Amino acid sequence: MKKIAIPLLAAAIAMMVVSCGSTSRSRTASGTAMGAATGAVIGSFSANAGRGALIGAGVGALGGVLMDEHQRGSFSN
């Protein structure tokens, strides 16, 4: 259970940091950076830090874009 809790906590913190920024570019960049860092840490547990960083960067960039769209009100009904 503890093995899963640490990555989930890191992902939650990363998603909170993704919302930092005032422009689309800064939100996407912070999401990419946090995703890469988190992915590298999680990937290092399985000796695949590089692969984890690449996957994390992609997921972080997607999170940054989605957070930016939410901040701009694009997801309203």
Domain map of the chain by residue range? 40-70
Indicate the residue type of 22. Answer: S
Tokens of 56: 């994390």
Which pLDDT value is given to residue 76?
62
pLDDT in tens, the chain (77 residues): 566 677 677 767 666 665 566 777 887 888 788 888 888 888 888 888 888 888 888 888 888 888 888 878 876 65
Cα separation, 45 vs 54, in Å, equals 15
Cα separation, 13 vs 5, in Å, equals 12
Which pLDDT value is given to residue 65?
84
Which pLDDT value is given to residue 67?
80
**Which of 12, 73, 59 is closest to 31 using CA atoms?**
59
Residues 6+ apart with CB under 8 A from 56: 35, 36, 37, 38, 39, 40, 42, 43
